[in-house]
Amino acid sequence: MAKSVLTPQATDFPRWYQDIVAKAELADNGPVRGTMVIRPYGYAIWERMQAEIDVRIKAAGVANAYFPLLIPESYLRREAEHVEGFSPELAVVTHGGGKKLEEPVVVRPTSETIINSYFAKWIQSYRDLPLLINQWANVVRWELRPRLFLRTTEFLWQEGHTAHASAGEAREFALKILSDVYEDVMVNVLAIPVLKGRKTDNERFAGATTTWTCEAMMRDAKALQMGTSHELGQNFARAFDITYLDESGTQAYVWQTSWGVSTRLMGALVMVHGDDDGLRLPPRLAPIQVVVILARADEGAADVAVTLAAELRAAGIRVELDTRTDTSFGRRVVDWELKGVPLRLEVGPRDLAQGVVVVARRDTGTKTSVPLAGVTAEVTATLDAIHGALLEEAAALQRSRTVTVGSLEEVEPAAASGFAVMPLSALGADGETTLNRAGLSVRCIQSADGGLPGPDDGDDASLVAIVGRAY
């Protein structure tokens, strides 16, 4: 059987990644450098991610809204650290309608400034708190080294913005999003194990007081920041004068959070689960969970294939029926493997004569002959098994490529092939600069037991830094 033509991972991982994105029909480069066209199959996967994230965001009490793409430049300048952090990435519009604008406008890089200008209007009393808003949108950050899904000038994301009556409440909500929304989707839908932790001051979001992150290891052992949740303190509240009358009748500033994940998750999906034959999609995410393939033109087999597809759909399984017998069976199998469909049911007259169909797993390549009467039960059980197998495979790679070291000097050789875990106290004042020169960075800070640092933990001796080479 002819196999798909992909550059092997071991030969050239970046080229392999680009091959999959193109040949699995996920996305193409757009006409402006750094932009992308997300193709229907890629967008179907993104829609599944979006739906899973959105339902969890709403369960946390957050409502969706929409804010303008164009933001007055003066808004960004109201929070100094924020504008400084984003200045190199800004796209600025200076002309509109054939005339020079009185004030330049920025194409949305993130929406803290415009959303907070409206929070200042909407929040008057403690009864207006907490205010919990999310938007699904596109943003533009002028990217110098674009790579589809991972770093693009324009990308899709959700960004949540909240206002609270206390610092403790804001922190609790930021961590709730990190765990109950982001980690839950990443682990239980995308089958990607993540490390949760706090960013260093050098790595935190511009304008935030604390940034919390989910980090994952790709199959080439590099790190990818999957999503972040930020405590903004009162920085934006003071810049935009967001105050409320508390229960005692005193005017007070709100405490805020912001948080987001983007189409970068698509890149993670490829790089965590993909192999040399293409994508391997976790069943809970896959737009098509099962493809029923008619092996060759045969009226009886075609009737069985249609019946099987209908039975699986009735059981709530997402199914595609492939009866394109004018294309070779081998070519079709290769195409479905490239797209990462978790299960394949092969229906042919020879197997049907024995009362069975062949069930093929994409993750392992194993094939099983299953009696017709037991197909739905077998498919349901196997889809669950595939999710667990993909999650454990990714977790095993992370464990095997993580080394514990005791000093800064040991980090570089240890992180050459994965993550290095070192005492935070060993980092020192110039440690991050040293790591950056070697192409490394602190991905996150954790407690020694792998948990999140406490609210007052600074350079506590019990904290560790996770160091890696990142995308």
Comparing 80 with 172, which gets the higher pLDDT? 172
List, in sequence order, every beta strand (DSSP E) within 67-201. 70-72, 92-96, 99-107, 131-140, 154-164, 195-198
pLDDT score, position 231: 97
Count of other CB atoms within 10 angstroms of residue 324: 13
Which one of 322, 354, 385 terminates a domain? 385
| 322 and 175 within one domain | no
Please give the tally of structural domains in the chain: 3
Tell me the two tokens of residue 302.
């075609």
* Reported confidence tier of residue 2, pLDDT bands at 50, 70, 90: very low
Lowest mean pLDDT among 62-71, 127-136, 423-432: 423-432
**Percent of the chain, pLDDT > 90?**
91
Mean pLDDT of 434-460: 88
| 126 and 19 within one domain | yes
Residue 169 lies in a domain: yes
Query: Are the beta carbons of 201 and 230 closer than 8 angstroms?
Result: no
Distance CA 383, CA 374 (A): 14
| 346 and 371 within one domain | yes
* Reported confidence tier of residue 307, pLDDT bands at 50, 70, 90: very high
pLDDT score, position 3: 60
Q: Is the pLDDT of residue 405 over 90?
A: yes
Residue 190 lies in a domain: yes
* Reported confidence tier of residue 87, pLDDT bands at 50, 70, 90: confident
Q: Pick from 64, 258, 237: which is nearest to 174 by CA? A: 258
Residue 3 lies in a domain: no
Tell me the two tokens of residue 138.
């596109």
| 106 and 44 within one domain | yes
Omega before 40 cis (within 30°)? no
| 161 and 61 within one domain | yes
Residues 6+ apart with CB under 8 A from 373: none
* Reported confidence tier of residue 131, pLDDT bands at 50, 70, 90: very high
Residue 434 lies in a domain: yes
Summarised one tens digit per residue, pLDDT across range 148-177 is 999 999 999 999 999 999 999 999 999 999
CA dist list (Å): 190 to 53, 284, 457: 11, 7, 31
Residue 156 lies in a domain: yes
Which one of 358, 385, 412 terminates a domain? 385
Comparing 113 with 455, which gets the higher pLDDT? 113
Residue 21 lies in a domain: yes
Residues 6+ apart with CB under 8 A from 456: none
Query: Are the beta carbons of 269 and 291 closer than 8 angstroms?
Result: no
Whole-number mean pLDDT of the chain? 95
Count of other CB atoms within 10 angstroms of residue 32: 9
| 225 and 323 within one domain | no
| 258 and 158 within one domain | yes
Residue 282 lies in a domain: no
State the helix-helix crossing angle for 299-314 and 375-400, rounded to 10 degrees: 70
Three-class SS state of 446: strand
Residue 397 lies in a domain: no
| 199 and 149 within one domain | yes
* Domain, as residue range, for 230: 13-273
Which one of 273, 302, 323 terminates a domain? 273
Tell me the two tokens of residue 6.
């992909």
* Reported confidence tier of residue 4, pLDDT bands at 50, 70, 90: low
Q: Classify burial at 152, counting beta carbons within 10 Å of its beta carbon; exposed 0-12, middle 13-18, buried 19 or more.
A: buried
CATH of the domain at 323: 3.40.50.800
CA dist list (Å): 180 to 60, 173, 177: 8, 10, 5
pTM: 0.95
Q: Is the pLDDT of residue 182 over 50?
A: yes
- Run of H or E residues at 252: strand 251-253
| 239 and 131 within one domain | yes
| 116 and 65 within one domain | yes
Summarised one tens digit per residue, pLDDT across range 198-244 is 999 999 998 899 999 999 999 999 999 999 999 999 999 999 999 99
| 200 and 85 within one domain | yes
| 456 and 366 within one domain | no
- Run of H or E residues at 320: strand 319-322
- Run of H or E residues at 213: strand 210-217
Tell me the two tokens of residue 407.
């000093």
